[in-house]
Amino acid sequence: MNRIDAAFEQLRSKGESALIPFLTIGDPDLATSVEIIQALEEAGADMIELGVPYSDPLADGPVIQRASERALKNKISIVDCIQVAEDARQAGVKLPFILFTYYNPVLQFGLEPFFKHITEKGISGLIIPDLPIEEDEEVRQLAEAADIHLIPLVAPTSNDRVTRIAGKARGFVYCVSSLGVTGVRSDFHQGIDEFLSTVRGATNTPIAVGFGISSREQVERFAKQSDGVIVGSAIVRKIEEVLPLLLTESTKQEGLAQIKAFVSSLKG
């Protein structure tokens, strides 16, 4: 069974909702990313979105844009990024890994070699935010053949496309809480509650909510209406805040502890 399905099944049996952190791989470096992933698991994360840094992150706000710039300074490749998943697994991390990447690096890799590679490295899910459902048939077939879940995004403006997107979804449906780019928010799309119930009604696949979520209260609110909550920028911002600690060997553990404490506070 795909690790994502097993995780949702286990959470559902406990009546719990998943906490799904996002981090930019390679920020500040690949080895530290493995340690951050370990800290996220210890903090109670249920699966992790591993973000491949990209030079043109058009759907990202300033926090994740800065993280991508820091990571790309190290001249890392998508292969280096995916290796972090295998390194974290070998370090004992049990969580399902969802690879998050824009489409261009996948095209550069070559679709078939890409899927062969991520299968070998133990990736369970894939999010490609700039691959619309109208163009994803070949990717979907390769993903299904590899038992890797291609996780689609739906937005409050998706309206009649929601049924089509949600109906084909594997793993979970990524419900975007607000229009625009990623980033911490205090308010969400005014029709968000109705939107989530529409998505819920369109599929038996788990649904998760992301964009703008940064506090325990916001996590609790959306956990009631979904099977999972994704938190990216708030965690990437915390990583940015503790960078000086992470980059000094003698204070690295303190930096990791602060990241763990923040994510634990979200889980409650």
Q: Which of 232, 239, 260, 266 binds ligand IGP (CB under 6 A)?
A: 232
Sign of CA dihedral 228, 40, 119, 51: positive
Q: Which of 28, 171, 206, 210 binds ligand IGP (CB under 6 A)?
A: 210
Rg (CA), the chain: 17
Is residue 25 at the binding interface for ligand IGP, with CB under 6 A as the rule?
no
60 part of the active site: yes
Q: Which of 25, 165, 231, 256 binds ligand IGP (CB under 6 A)?
A: 231
- Whose CA is closest to 213, among 19, 67, 14, 16? 19
Is residue 211 at the binding interface for ligand IGP, with CB under 6 A as the rule?
yes
Determine the residue with CB nearest ligand IGP. 232
Least distance in angstroms from the C-beta of 102 to ligand IGP: 8
- Whose CA is closest to 24, among 101, 92, 83, 86? 101
- Whose CA is closest to 9, among 176, 228, 222? 228
Binding residues with ligand IGP: total (CB under 6 A):
19
d(CA 215, CA 9): 25
147 part of the active site: no
Q: Which of residues 42-61 bind ligand IGP (CB under 6 A)?
A: 49, 51, 59-60
d(CA 25, CA 41): 15
User: Using CB under 6 A as the criterion, which residues of the chain lie in contact with ligand IGP when the complex forms?
Assistant: 22, 49, 51, 59-60, 64, 100, 129, 182-183, 210-213, 230-234
